[in-house]
Amino acid sequence: MNDDDTSSAIYPNPILPGFNPDPSVVAADGAYYIVTSTFEYYPGLPVYRSHDFVTWEQVGNVGTRLGQLAVTEVPTGLGVWAPTIRYRDGVFYVIVVIPAGRGCVVFTATDPAGEWSDGTVVEGLNGIDPDLAWDDEGTAYVTYSGLVMSGDELGTHLGIQQVKVDLATGAILEEPRSLWSGSGFMFPEAPHLYHRGEYWYLMIAEGGTERGHGVSIARGTSPEGPFTAYEANPFLTARSTIRPVQNTGHGDLVEGPAGQTLIVLLGVRPGGGTRAFSPLGRETFVSTVDWIDDWPVAQPVLLSEQRPIDSVRFDAPLDDRWMAVRRTPAEIAAIDAERGVLTLTGDGSTLDDAHPVFVGRRQLTWSVTSQTTVDVSNGTGGLGVRYDQQAHYEIEARTDGDEVVVTARASVPSFSREWSGRLPAGPVTLHLDSAAPEADGFGPDMMTSDFVSLWASSGVPGGAYQELRLASVDGRYLTAETAASFTGRVIGLYATAGTVAFDGYDATGV
C-alpha cells in the first residue's frame, strides 16, 4: 500500500461520522445504501443513502418496532451486531445477529427507507456477523463467524462457518461447514462472500477490532470453498502505522460510481500524545481497491475535514437520527410543535440505569459545542453525553425556590463525582462542550483525547446574563479504548423526575 495515494481523497472520510460501526454496503437502482450496528439503541440499524458516495443522508432505520430487535433487556455490549445488507430481485435484505435478543434474523423491504419486515429468525445459527449471498442457481448461503454465543461451548471460536438457508422459513438446510480460519490473526470475523470473474472471494476481518484490526481475503472456484488465502494478507490494515485512522477493518466491497471497487469499513480517529483514545468510537470510512492478478490491493484510509452542524428545532416529529436506550424515542418524548419544545417526563431512572428517559444523537465531530435551553419548573433533567450506562457525563438542572440548582456529574465505572451551583430561577441554557487539550508543551494533559466542559448560563449576553462554569472532565473515560461498550458518544436530553421542557438542541463542531 502506498501512503501517498490520493485516489480515495474525493471521499469525505469518515463518510458516516460518529458511532457507526460494522458497515455493510449495497448498490441498487442507482443508489448506495449502508447499514451499521446499534447495539442497545432504538431505532436500530440506520439506513444511509447516497448517489455519489460523497453526500449521505439517513433515510430510515430497519428496526423501528420493539419486537423486531428485542433488545429491551440486553446487557451493555450485546444487542444489534454487525449487519449485512444485500439486494436481489427487487428486495432488500438485512441479516444480523442480535446476541441476547432474537438471534440471527433476516429483515426484508422493497424500499430501504422502510417499513421493514418483522424479520425471520434463522433458527439454530450459533455465531455472529452473518453474510448473505446467492449462487448462480439462487441458493442462499449464510456465511458467519463461528463465535459460539450460547451453550456449553460459549466463547469458543470455530473460524468462518457457512450454511445453506431457506430464507422464507429461516430453516438451516445442512450442517455447518468450516471454510477458513483466516491468516493466523485472532478473531476471524465479519465474512463477506463475493462472486467476481472466475472466483468466489471470502473476505474477513481479523486481528480484533482494536489496533490490530485488518482485512484479509481468500478465493476459490465455489462458494463452499476450498479457499486459498492471499499471500499479502491482511491486504488492508493500519496496525503499527502513523495514519490518522486506526483500527481499520470489518470491510465490505462495492463497485463505486466511477466503476472502481470501493471498500467501506470501520475505523477510529485516536488522539492524545500517544494517540491512545478515540472519543467517537468506531466510524464508517471508505477507500479504493485495485485488482492485480485477481487479488485486491487496497489504498490506505485517508482522513478529510468535515464541519457538520446539528441544529434542531422541536416544531416537527423527531427525525430518524434520534435514538433512545432499549426503548423507542416515541415512548418517552413528546413534541409540542406550537411551542417548539420537546418534553420528557422522568420516572426516577438516571443515566446509570438500563432504561433512562434519554433521547440523543450521535456526536459527529471530535470537538463539539452543544447546548439546550431547559424549563425545569416542573421537573429535573438536563443534557448528557453517554457511552454506556456506566460511562456518561451530564449537566442537570432543577428548580429550588427562586433559584435553579445546576449539577454537573461525571460517572465512570466505580467512580462518580458531582459539582453544583445556582442560577436565577427561570429557563437556563445547559452547555456540554468537548475539545482537544490546548498545546502548551509536553505534560499529562496532552496524553488524553479531550476535555468535556459542563456549564450553564441564564439570561442573554448583553443583558442580565450569568455563567456558571462547573467542571472540565477528562474525556478519555468516554472512548472506545476505556468504555465497556462497542458504541460511541451519544449526546442527548434526559429527565429524572417530573416533566422537563427542552427548547431546541444545537451541536456544532469540527
pLDDT digits (tens, 9 = 90+) for 236-273: 999 999 999 999 999 999 999 989 999 999 999 999 98
Q: What percent of the chain has pLDDT over 90?
A: 84
**pLDDT tops 60 at residue 98:** yes
pTM summary value? 0.95
Query: Which of 344, 424, 414 lies closest to 384, judged by CA?
Result: 344
- Phi, psi angle pair for 442, to nearest 5°: -90, 130
Strand ranges in 233-326 using DSSP code E only, listed in sequence order = 236-237, 246-255, 261-268, 283-292, 295-298, 309-312, 323-325
* For range 199-228, the mean pLDDT: 97
Predicted confidence at residue 142, as pLDDT, reads 98
Contact yes or no for 128/149 (Cβ under 8 A): yes
pLDDT-derived band at 155 (thresholds 50, 70, 90) equals confident
pLDDT at 305 over 80: no
Contact 347, 357 (CB under 8 A): yes
* Biggest distance spanned by C-alpha atoms of the chain: 77
Instruction: Check pLDDT > 80 for residue 71.
Output: yes
Q: Is the pLDDT score of 64 beyond 90?
A: yes
Q: Is the pLDDT of residue 346 over 80?
A: yes
- Give the pLDDT score at 395: 98
Predicted pLDDT at 147:
84
Lookup: cell for 356: 433512562
Please, what is the average pLDDT of the chain? Answer: 93
d(CA 28, CA 111): 11
> Is 70 exceeded by the pLDDT of residue 5?
no
* pLDDT digits 0-9 by tens, 393-417: 999 999 999 999 999 999 999 899 9
Is the Cα torsion angle 162, 166, 29, 42 positive or negative in sign?
Answer: negative
For residue 7, pLDDT beyond 60: no
For the cut 50, the answer to whether the pLDDT of residue 4 exceeds it is no
C-alpha cell at 187: 478473531
Architecture of domain 309-509: Sandwich (2.60)
* Residue-wise pLDDT tens digits, 360-381: 999 999 899 999 999 999 999 9
Distance, in Å, from the CA atom of 117 to the CA atom of 187, rounded to the nearest integer, reads: 31
Kindly give the pairing relationship between strand 246-255 and strand 24-28: unpaired
Judge whether residue 12 has pLDDT over 90. Answer: no
pLDDT of residue 414: 87
Please check whether residue 33 is in contact with residue 25, taking contact to mean a CB–CB distance below 8 angstroms. Answer: yes
- Looking at residue 306, what is its pLDDT? 67
Q: What residues contact 78, with CB distance under 8 A and at least 6 apart?
A: 39, 40, 71, 98, 99, 100, 101
Of the candidates 159, 158, 120, the residue with the CA atom closest to the CA atom of residue 140: 120
pLDDT digits (tens, 9 = 90+) for 116-134: 999 999 999 999 999 999 9
Residue type, 211: R
Q: How large is the average pLDDT for residues 157-183? A: 95
Q: Please tell me the predicted confidence (pLDDT) of residue 441.
A: 66
Query: Phi and psi dihedrals of 163, rounded to 5?
Result: -140, 155
- Would you state the pLDDT for residue 273? 86
Given this model, what pLDDT does residue 6 score?
Answer: 46
Confidence grade of residue 2 (pLDDT, cut at 50, 70, 90): very low
Residue with the bigger pLDDT between 393 and 313: it is 393
Q: Please confirm whether the linkage preceding 14 is cis (ω < 30° from 0).
A: yes
Between CA 77 and CA 478, with CA 349 as vertex, the angle to 5 degrees is 40
Q: What is the per-residue pLDDT across 474-504, written as a single tens digit (0 to 9) for each?
A: 999 999 999 988 999 999 999 999 999 999 9
Average pLDDT over residues 284-301: 96
- What is the percent of the chain with per-residue pLDDT over 70, rounded to a whole number? 97
C-alpha cell at 44: 436500530
Partnered with residue 411 across adjacent β-strands are 392, 416
Write out the catalytic residue numbers.
22, 189
Q: What is residue 1's predicted lDDT score, i.e. its pLDDT?
A: 43
- Per-residue pLDDT reduced to its tens digit, 20-30: 999 999 999 99
Q: Which single residue is written with the C-alpha cell 453526500?
A: 55
463 or 429, which is more confident:
429
pLDDT bin (cut points 50, 70, 90) of residue 150 is confident
The backbone region for 250, taken as left when phi is positive above 0, alpha when psi lies in -120 to 50, beta otherwise, is: left
Fold for 24-250, please state it. Answer: Tachylectin-2; Chain A (2.115.10)
Residue ranges per structural domain of the chain: 24-250, 309-509
In this predicted structure, the answer to whether residue 17 has a pLDDT above a threshold of 80 is yes
